[in-house]
A and B are shown apart, each in its own frame.
Chain A
Amino acid sequence: MVDNQVLSTSHLVAIRYLSEHDILRILDYATLIKQHPSNFHDRLKGKILALAFWEPSTRTRLSFEIAMLRLGGSVTGFSSSVGTSLEKGESLSDTITMLANYADGIVIRHPLRGSAKLAAEIAQKFGVPVISGGSGSQEHPTQALLDIFTIREFFGRLTGLNIALMGDLRYSRTISSLLLALSKFGRNTINLISHPSLRLQEELRLDLQETNLELIETEDLSDVISEFDVLYVTRLQKERFPDPMLYQKVKGSFQLHPSLLKSAKDRSLILHPLPRVDEIPYEIDRFPQAKYFIQAKNGVYIRMAILDHLLGDESVE
């Protein structure tokens, strides 16, 4: 028997609100699911998950859908605001109130910060759990959990690692959640590789100040290429640059070149939240360190663990 009702919260809106203990319980439960997925095939039989996606998404939405189906539940919802009442200006508050009346759980992705927290407060009145699938540039908690799941699976630990983060560190909710997640564990060295205009948000920097993370800033991947245990690459978005010329000029500096990777440690990981554009060329996929597709697959186990925790009954055989 494994007790699965041990989270200190009945929603998952941000890594910020999770304890180290919460995170470890989710990772352990996901490990168990990954070992014997068939044991969990009817955990959420008869339950319905509503996917409320105000922003387009392929990976996160599919991953939640598959996780719910693998647990024996069903899925409904909407994706992006085209063709829904959201286009007519229906508020998040009203939409969530309606969904909380219909479904057993809600996954929300929304372009504004604070959206997942507000959704959780509203759905709480109906006893319906809310899971964030991304709230603006703020957080993407399930992504961070699958990231650290992959790191722990490979290294067997979440401390004493040299982790390099490259690309858009400012507007990437994935980066914010990953750093907040890592900050709950022991000492790690974090190399931040970005263009000066895409450095960490000030607020996040403040949050990380009192933690065990050692933050080191650089603009050049070659500074850390032979040292990293994990290289986490994110996509640069053209619209984040004040001037498209600047984007064209700097994007090459944050691409991974096969020649550069020859100096990387054999036992290291290259991760990416996907989708990628050209920051990781296809040649890199053949390197043994490239693990982004395994990382994406782990997303299903992590989301199964979270859905089971929040929507499921108390214990599992």
Chain B
Amino acid sequence: MNKKEEKTEKELIVAKIDNGIVIDHITPPGRAFYALKALNIDENFPHSVFVAINLPSRKFGRKDLLKIRNMKREDLNIEKLGLLISGSNIAYIKDYMIIEKEKIKTPKRISGVIKCPGLNCITSRHEDVDPEFIVLNEHQPISLRCVYCDAIFNVHEHISLML
């Protein structure tokens, strides 16, 4: 990529947001789509969302970036994001200023955020139980093991099971 093209791509990055969150360094590129799903952002979401896919990054080559207006720390399930975009950074913005930063980590164990794909798993029935999983590996793509039925599966192949 030549200098001019790089500059043009940089200019594409949207302006600062007043209040909300910025999730940066989402890799590999394309993962921002998973993050939107995990954040339950769809056509009914009431605030502005800026999605940047495949931006040049000095450190990662290519990355994604999300800016979401009026979203707060308490609106996020960080563990859920940790299954899909661990390693990314979140900045919390208030009045155009970063008030807090956080790196998204892969959880060790997770419950209540994704359903088990195991066909014969007790958690797939109408029972008094939250699906619970042991996270098998720290780096993407992440695999989970159901603590009930022992099934092992890949999270991003079962994104539709996210709660």
Residues of A near B148 (CB, < 8 A) are: 113-114, 117-118
- Chain A residue nearest to B148 in the complex (CB): A114
Q: Of B147, B149, B152, which contacts A138 at CB under 8 A?
A: B149
Q: How large is the interface on B (under 10, 10 to 19, 20 to 34, 35 or more residues)?
A: 10 to 19
Residue from the set B123, B125, B145, B150 with the largest chain A CB neighbour count within 10 Å: B150
Residues of A near B123 (CB, < 8 A) are: 114, 118
Residues of B near A138 (CB, < 8 A) are: 149-150
> B120 near A: Cβ within 8 Å?
yes
> A111 near B: Cβ within 8 Å?
yes
Given A92-B122, A111-B120, A113-B121, A118 contacting B129 (CB threshold 8 A) = yes
- Residues of chain A from 53 to 98 with CB closer than 8 A to chain B in the complex: 91-94
Q: Is the CB of B152 within 8 A of A113?
A: no
A136 to B120, CA, bound (A): 8
| Interface size of A in residues (CB-CB distance below 8 Å) | 21
> A122 near B: Cβ within 8 Å?
yes
Given A113-B148, A138-B149, A138-B150, A91 contacting B120 (CB threshold 8 A) = no
Q: Is the CB of B150 within 8 A of A113?
A: yes
Mask: chain B, 112-147; 1 = CB below 8 Å from A; 0 = not? 000000101111011111000000000000000111
Given A111-B120, A113-B121, A115-B122, A93 contacting B127 (CB threshold 8 A) = yes
Given A117-B147, A203-B150, A203-B152, A112 contacting B128 (CB threshold 8 A) = no
Residues of B near A206 (CB, < 8 A) are: 152
Residues of A near B151 (CB, < 8 A) are: 113, 203
How far in angstroms is the closest Cβ of chain A from B109? 15
Given A92-B122, A113-B120, A137-B120, A118 contacting B127 (CB threshold 8 A) = yes
Given A111-B120, A137-B120, A91 contacting B150 (CB threshold 8 A) = no
Q: Is the CB of A112 within 8 A of B121?
A: yes
Residues of A near B127 (CB, < 8 A) are: 91-93, 118
Q: Is the CB of A91 within 8 A of B128?
A: yes
Residues of A near B126 (CB, < 8 A) are: 91
A121 to B128, CA, bound (A): 10
Residues of A near B128 (CB, < 8 A) are: 91, 93-94, 122
Q: Is the CB of A112 within 8 A of B125?
A: yes
A206 to B120, CA, bound (A): 19
Q: Is the CB of B149 within 8 A of A114?
A: yes
How far in angstroms is the closest Cβ of chain B from A194? 20
Q: Is the CB of A112 within 8 A of B150?
A: no
A110 to B149, CA, bound (A): 13
- Residues of chain A from 117 to 164 with CB closer than 8 A to chain B in the complex: 117-118, 121-122, 136-138
Residues of B near A115 (CB, < 8 A) are: 122
- Residues of chain B from 51 to 100 with CB closer than 8 A to chain A in the complex: none
How far in angstroms is the closest Cβ of chain A from B87? 25
- Residues of chain A from 195 to 226 with CB closer than 8 A to chain B in the complex: 202-203, 206
Given A92-B127, A93-B127, A93-B128, A114 contacting B121 (CB threshold 8 A) = yes
How far in angstroms is the closest Cβ of chain B from A313? 31
Q: Of B122, B145, B147, B152, which contacts A112 at CB under 8 A?
A: B122
A203 to B146, CA, bound (A): 11
Residues of A near B146 (CB, < 8 A) are: 114
- Chain A residue nearest to B124 in the complex (CB): A112
Residue from the set B118, B120, B145, B146 with the largest chain A CB neighbour count within 10 Å: B120
- Chain A residue nearest to B150 in the complex (CB): A203
Q: Of A16, A118, A137, which contacts B122 at CB under 8 A?
A: A118
- Chain B residue nearest to A94 in the complex (CB): B128
A122 to B122, CA, bound (A): 13
A16 to B128, CA, bound (A): 23
A137 to B150, CA, bound (A): 11
How far in angstroms is the closest Cβ of chain A from B120? 5
| Closest CB pairs A-B (n = 3) | A114-B148, A113-B149, A93-B128
Question: Can you list 19 A-B pairs with a CB-CB distance of less than 8 A?
Answer: A16-B150, A92-B122, A92-B127, A110-B122, A112-B122, A112-B149, A113-B120, A113-B122, A113-B149, A114-B121, A114-B123, A114-B147, A115-B122, A118-B123, A118-B127, A118-B148, A202-B152, A203-B152, A206-B152
Q: For the A-B complex with A110-B122, A114-B148 known, give 17 more contacts whose Cβ atoms are closer than 8 Å.
A: A16-B150, A91-B125, A91-B127, A91-B128, A92-B127, A94-B128, A112-B149, A113-B148, A113-B149, A114-B123, A114-B146, A114-B147, A117-B148, A121-B129, A136-B120, A138-B149, A203-B152
